[in-house]
Chain A
Amino acid sequence: MVWDGFLKFWQNNINETDNPKSYVLEKFVDKSGIHHLSVYEDKIDSINYIFIIAVSFNGKLHLLQIIDNNEIKILNIDDYGFNFTQNGESYWAIKFDKDLENNQNFSKFVTTSPNGKIKIWNFKILNGLPNFEFYGDINLGHNNGFPTCIDLSIVENKLSIGDSNGEVLIFELNSLKPLFTFHNNSLQNSSNSTVRSIKFSPLGKILAVAKDIGNYGIITLYDTKYGENIGNLTIPSHSTKNSNGIYSHDGWCFEIDFNETGESLVSCGYDSKVRVWNVENRERESTLNLSPSDLDYEDSNANNNDDLGTSPAIGVKFIKKGIRGGAGGDKNDGLVVISLDKGIRWYREAGGI
């Protein structure tokens, strides 16, 4: 089962799983389209439970369950402990995190709303059914922006929020107490410094932030314990075009992801590039170039309206070792990339490290 690696979001109403198209599972969720998705996977008494929450463009949450790897069931999220749709609440980013350490089956689910509200729920599986219990909320208010992305680290007891005005906030998860705020420190282009993706490293020691500087994307690493800036992941550039000097992508960087060990970080950008970085020495390890010619469109429908000529990459995730089949699948990480040319690409690490 490769859900955790593969499925980040669908822009259309169809969801696709697995590599060969014959393994595709489809489920219609909402005609307004889906933008965010988070997966919760657990094994209780040798039964696998997989729950997915998807957010559609009309701001609604959809709870889905995958049964026996092949059946997708839509559940009504309001039936499981919390009235999510009350007051016409609208959601944007969401995130599950599983409590691995003491394995009490007491995990968290967090959401952001465009109006600046962050909500936190306890999540557990009770008698085979999902159960949400409201834990608390944080109100950021309208500070000239709205929260765009969220991540949490139960191990480190931290919650982090990225805002469209360029700020990144770190809260303590249990007390919901603010710990650090990383302000948007670029003097120019202050209006264009949306935070696009934030990720805690698997151990929660490092927070990686991808945000815009004008028309470029930059990835910054922060230490979560002391709230210090560790450094940026940048590529060498001699261009005079970019007044900011340094950047990670020649275009907005949409998503970043750590691999299982936290040694590598992958990023993808509007410049149609996917870059893999070494977190330890902050150097670029490799770059993948995407182009629409990589794809073979099976149905002519897929390519009918707007041919972009480029393949801006908007989502990327690592696939854990041992999930991907094929040569070296057990030892090597894999990557899955989603791009605006309506393609999903799978990559695997070459060699047998």
Chain B
Amino acid sequence: MVFKTILDDNIIVKSDENRDNRYFDKKIREINFYPDLGTTRRSAKDRLKSLFQLIYNGIKNKNSLKFTFNISYCNKGLKPTKKIFRFPSSNVSECHKVVSLIKIIEILISNLEKNHIATRRDIYYQDVELFGNQSIVDMLIETLCKSLGFSSHEIGAIPSQKGLFYGNIELISWDNSNSILVTKFHKIKNSPILIPRLQGINEIKIIDDINFILVVEKEAVFNSLINSKEFGQDSNSIIVTGKGYPDRLTKEFLSIISQTNPNIPIFAIVDFDPYGINIFKQYKTGGKLDIVNGNRLKTPSISLINGSIMDYLSMNIGEECLRLNLRDFTMAKYLIESFEEFGDYSNNNDLRIISECQRMMFLMQKAEIDVIKSNQPQNKKLYQELCHEQSNICKPALDIVEYIQRIISNSLRNINENLK
């Protein structure tokens, strides 16, 4: 396969794994990507420009290029990693990455010069033929951000918003010790709010008096909750979902909200599978934190309040359990191995997570939390009858709401008991 792209100055960057390497000479030009940590922190535009110049000269002089990305994390236990791409290369995907990278750097520079901030989706549409899919653009921009130490806002390529929340909040930024109200968000009946961009936001104030913040893994569960009476418009809670694996913004949102409101408990409810627990881990630790954005992504105070899978089985809906597949199994094993990254062996609550993984591995079963709604057919029927009277309300899943309400009230009671 040949990958090529035409840059603005009519240079054609072309890479082909079968191409004769003689076109490029043996001289290797090293291009290093590392964060500026000293006092002279150059802007993203300048950094990218100088890198681009290096690449440009290299290609013009027919040198071989070696791209090295130095990524270090601020999480304990994560070693700094290096990513290396070579050009030319005999590896198809490496060819693809290098050519895409050069194109992306060029797009970013031209955006930054116009002071234009694009979403990653926009960047993908600039050269669909070359990129092929969105994920390579996301991956390369993420690598660039992490290795150069810029936030995605600084580099001018932000991800699309993904996470949702439901609650009344105010975004506040600080300006020389003055708090400035930036935006206000209010609940509107049955409609989730996209998590806003948090560039420059220092505080998220919760307007009304709330009892807890609830994070759910799935959008379906989220929708059931916000359409319900218990968690809907008049409830005193904030509900957040990252729709599966949370993106940066969702993690950041939760992290800021927890730092601003340290007294409000944050609960998480995920599926009864290893991936659910991994999602919880993402919220808690912030995932692989890069060195620049530090603590703005993790929420250490979040607690998992799912019942155990055993609990779930005892509700007698085991017919709808799924068999653990190899990937789940490996994930469970990985979670147990990496437990120290997000849990504490001396904390009973944390230990429940590890025993949960062990149980899933041993029982070889997993379950999705949505299944609860199809439980208890008589309830469901009753509810359908009720629904007919107010026909145009979309049907919330009654039982899952009940279930979540039950475990939340349990958890709140436990917290109160501990306080006493």
Take A192-B321, A215-B318, A310-B314 as given contacts and tell me if A148 and B364 are in contact as well, using a CB distance cutoff of 8 Å: yes
Q: Cβ of A22 < 8 Å from any Cβ of B?
A: no
Q: Cβ of B407 < 8 Å from any Cβ of A?
A: no
Interface residues on chain B, number (Cβ under 8 Å): 31
The contact of A164 among B308, B323, B337, B339, by CB within 8 Å, is B323
Set of chain A residues within 8 Å of B408, measured between Cβ atoms: none
Grouping DSSP codes into helix (H, G, I), strand (E, B) and loop, the B interface class, with mixed when no group exceeds half, is helix
Set of chain A residues within 8 Å of B321, measured between Cβ atoms: 192, 215
What 1/0 flags go to A132-176 for Cβ under 8 Å of B?
000000000010011010000000000000001000000000000
Interface residues on chain A, number (Cβ under 8 Å): 33
Set of chain B residues within 8 Å of A31, measured between Cβ atoms: 345
The interface centre, meaning the residue of B310, B314, B323 with most chain A CB atoms within 10 A of its CB, is B323
On whether the beta carbons of B362 and A314 are closer than 8 Å, the reply is: yes
The contact of B326 among A114, A194, A306, by CB within 8 Å, is A114
Set of chain A residues within 8 Å of B354, measured between Cβ atoms: 32-33
Shortest distance from the beta carbon of B74 to any chain A beta carbon, whole Å: 25
On whether the beta carbons of A58 and B358 are closer than 8 Å, the reply is: no
What 1/0 flags go to B330-343 for Cβ under 8 Å of A?
10010011010000
On whether the beta carbons of A164 and B324 are closer than 8 Å, the reply is: yes
Shortest distance from the beta carbon of B129 to any chain A beta carbon, whole Å: 34
Set of chain A residues within 8 Å of B326, measured between Cβ atoms: 114-115, 142, 145-146
On whether the beta carbons of B358 and A215 are closer than 8 Å, the reply is: no
Q: Cβ of A204 < 8 Å from any Cβ of B?
A: no
Question: How far, in angstroms, from A25 to B326 measured CA to CA in the complex?
Answer: 35
The contact of A146 among B311, B329, B357, by CB within 8 Å, is B329
Set of chain A residues within 8 Å of B333, measured between Cβ atoms: 57-59, 90, 114
Take A114-B326, A114-B330, A192-B321 as given contacts and tell me if A305 and B362 are in contact as well, using a CB distance cutoff of 8 Å: no
Q: Cβ of B361 < 8 Å from any Cβ of A?
A: yes
On whether the beta carbons of A32 and B348 are closer than 8 Å, the reply is: no
What 1/0 flags go to A1-45 for Cβ under 8 Å of B?
000000000010000000000000000000111010000000000
Set of chain B residues within 8 Å of A191, measured between Cβ atoms: 322-323
Set of chain A residues within 8 Å of B345, measured between Cβ atoms: 31
Question: How far, in angstroms, from A299 to B56 measured CA to CA in the complex?
Answer: 71
On whether the beta carbons of B322 and A252 are closer than 8 Å, the reply is: no
Using CB atoms and an 8 Å cutoff, list the residues of chain B in contact with chain A.
308, 310-311, 313-314, 318-319, 321-326, 329-330, 333, 336-337, 339, 345, 348, 351-352, 354-355, 357-358, 361-364
Task: Name 14 A/B residue pairs within 8 A (Cβ), A-sorted.
Answer: A11-B355, A11-B362, A32-B354, A58-B333, A58-B336, A58-B337, A114-B329, A114-B330, A191-B322, A192-B322, A194-B364, A215-B321, A309-B314, A310-B314
Using CB atoms and an 8 Å cutoff, list the residues of chain A in contact with chain B.
11, 31-33, 35, 57-59, 90, 114-115, 142, 145-146, 148, 164, 191-192, 194, 214-215, 251-252, 270, 304-306, 308-310, 312, 314, 340
Q: Which 9 A-B pairs have the closest CB atoms?
A: A215-B318, A58-B337, A32-B336, A57-B336, A194-B364, A215-B319, A146-B326, A33-B358, A306-B308
